[in-house]
Amino acid sequence: MQSRLPIIVFAAVMAAIPFVPGMPPFWIVLLDNIGLAALVAMGLVLLTGVGGLTSFGQAAFVGFGAYTTAVLSTAYGLSPWLTLPLSLVVSGSLAVLLGLITVRLSGHYLPLGTLAWGLGLFYLFSKLEFLGRNDGISAIPPLSIGSFKMLSPGSIYYAIWVAVILSALLTMNLLDSRTGRAIRALRRGHVAAEAFGVHTPRAKLLVFIHAAVLAGLSGWLYAHLQRAVNPTPFGAHMGIEYLFIAVVGGAGYVWGGVLGAAIVVVLKEVLQSYLPLILPGSGQVETIVFGIMLVALLQLAPGGLWPWLMSFLPERTSGRKPDTSLKLEHRARAPAETGVLLQVEKARKQFGGVVAVNNVSFDVKAREIVALIGPNGAGKSTTFNLITGVLSATSGSISVLGRKVDNAPPQEIVKLGISRTFQHVKLVPDMTVLENVAIGAHLRGHSGPISSMLRLDRTDEAKLLAEAARQIERVGLTEQMHQLAGSLSLGQQRIVEIARALCVDPMLLLLDEPAAGLRHMEKQRLATLLRELRDGGMSVLLVEHDMGFVMNLADRIVVLDFGTKIAEGTPATIKSNPEVIKAYLGVAA
């Protein structure tokens, strides 16, 4: 996706810095600190900026990494290189433990929860005997290669920045992949991602672990840079500071984390060393100024500095069209997708005392377009949610190809070949149309996070993108393929949702008001597309208010009113059904 050139230049510049003649050694120390903070902030970018999970507890994971290597390399004399994987494993597995508890928390519980265990762990660090209590652990051996010991800040500099650049690359690779798209969809809520088979709690846990491992890496480096650890740098204040490093830099961008770290570390240093000269006096003048500058910065650039800087660069409208000749394997199909595909029997959904769907029965057969119509509040979207597993039915049964699927989660329903669109468009606005549509093919890819980070997923990935491009072409949005989904008109966004649903390779397509917001010509094109799909062997169940559109398209119509089915039949019989006319017009005509 992104060109590698800037990164190579950046790496070269960073490699050259220690060789600049007259470079003050203190600057190298600052750069070391920037690198350490950048690692943690990068994890937070993924966790908070991309995944939408705010964590105050990252400092605790830095602590896990640092204390693991401190204990093992002093008390047990292990080589620091041996403790590296152990530090990462300790941070990672504790992330699993804490993550299982916290990532399922919604909204503001999550940051507060992380704040709470962050604080608790800090006090634990400072009280445990084997961690040296408040004094911590000293005399940690330095990193060494052969007889070369990284004793000075200048020698560990390379270890730190190699870690930073490698982590940035791996993180960006992860984001630009099948797993990455699932992660990027998290911030927009669960329902859409789950409808295409993304296991959202697992995806959240994954980013949580990723961020914790990066923090652990930073802690490991920190321990061998300082050669001593104590609880102070792992407290709540640092947890908060890491978070604002990410926000100041631009929480949605990997390099924003690095930029934020540079700004915050340098700013603090400058304030600490120069402010007392200007404003002599007691106390923490630098904290005051720092706090004020932070608020001012947020008011000027609430999105962070990285996107603000990037907006000065010429916009790149790159993005190659994927090679659509690559074929993606079809979804594993049931042996006979013929006869009755979907059977809804006496489905009932109650919200407290309200009966939203009242014992509704109907079916959808193979190669059929069925329309579900009814006045507003008739229970059409609720019926969709029952079928797709977003809601579980109070009673009644829903079967697919004769097999009952009651209360199966959405991820299971989509595996059966039922895909859907939403009445209120649920796309990820800051992802391109292509990437949004590719989420639809999530279950047809196989690459996991590790292979994505290492770029072993490229053939799989190319096939997924090719399939997405084919479906975009099919619905007629090829020109918008590389635009951000949020920049499209509402009507076009609905079409993007259809393309995404088609990427599932479904046998049954559920469309919730697909024609709303479309112009006349677009509606006709949509009708043609749906007929083609039916003739190609797919069935369609749609909710729609545009009667002209429905009457011309549907093979069969089911009419709901106040949650109850009042009629079913061909368009012609429905048009003259007195019950239906009464439901719509209020009086018998």
The window from 116-124, 311-319, 330-338, 526-534 that contacts other proteins (CB under 8 A) reads 116-124
Out of 198, 251, 347, 427, the residue judged to bind other proteins by CB under 8 A: 251
| Nearest distance, CB of residue 56 and other proteins, angstroms | 9
Nearest to 84 by CA among 231, 118, 92: 92
How many CB atoms sit inside 10 A of residue 185's CB? 28
Out of 8, 12, 166, 292, the residue judged to bind other proteins by CB under 8 A: 292
Answer yes or no whether residue 284 interacts with other proteins by CB under 8 A.
yes
Answer yes or no whether residue 352 interacts with other proteins by CB under 8 A.
no
Answer yes or no whether residue 486 interacts with other proteins by CB under 8 A.
no
| Nearest distance, CB of residue 190 and other proteins, angstroms | 7
Judged by beta carbon, residue 287 or residue 395, the one nearer other proteins is 287
Out of 43, 80, 113, 563, the residue judged to bind other proteins by CB under 8 A: 113
Answer yes or no whether residue 240 interacts with other proteins by CB under 8 A.
yes
| Nearest distance, CB of residue 172 and other proteins, angstroms | 22
- Strands 340-351, 395-400: pairing is antiparallel
Answer yes or no whether residue 24 interacts with other proteins by CB under 8 A.
no
Q: Is the CB of residue 441 less than 8 Å from the CB of residue 464?
A: yes
Q: Is the CB of residue 469 less than 8 Å from the CB of residue 379?
A: no
Answer yes or no whether residue 12 interacts with other proteins by CB under 8 A.
no
d(CA 265, CA 268): 5
Place of tokens 């579900």: 372
Answer yes or no whether residue 187 interacts with other proteins by CB under 8 A.
yes
| Nearest distance, CB of residue 296 and other proteins, angstroms | 9
Out of 10, 290, 308, 584, the residue judged to bind other proteins by CB under 8 A: 290
Out of 23, 82, 96, 101, the residue judged to bind other proteins by CB under 8 A: 101
Sign of CA dihedral 449, 455, 458, 459: negative
C-alpha distances (whole Å) from 383 to each of 325, 347, 449, 526 are 38, 8, 35, 23
Nearest to 80 by CA among 129, 29, 151, 135: 151
Packed helices 520-535 and 490-502: angle between N→C axes, nearest 10 degrees: 10
Answer yes or no whether residue 52 interacts with other proteins by CB under 8 A.
yes
Answer yes or no whether residue 291 interacts with other proteins by CB under 8 A.
yes
Cα angle: 84, vertex 162, 144; to 5 degrees:
50
d(CA 297, CA 134): 35
Judged by beta carbon, residue 237 or residue 519, the one nearer other proteins is 237
Packed helices 5-16 and 153-175: angle between N→C axes, nearest 10 degrees: 170
Q: Is the CB of residue 371 less than 8 Å from the CB of residue 515?
A: no
Answer yes or no whether residue 267 interacts with other proteins by CB under 8 A.
no
Answer yes or no whether residue 270 interacts with other proteins by CB under 8 A.
no
List residues binding other proteins (CB under 8 A).
Answer: 48, 52, 54, 101-102, 104-109, 111-113, 115-117, 119-120, 123-124, 127, 187-191, 236, 240, 243-244, 247-248, 251, 281-295, 298-299, 302, 391
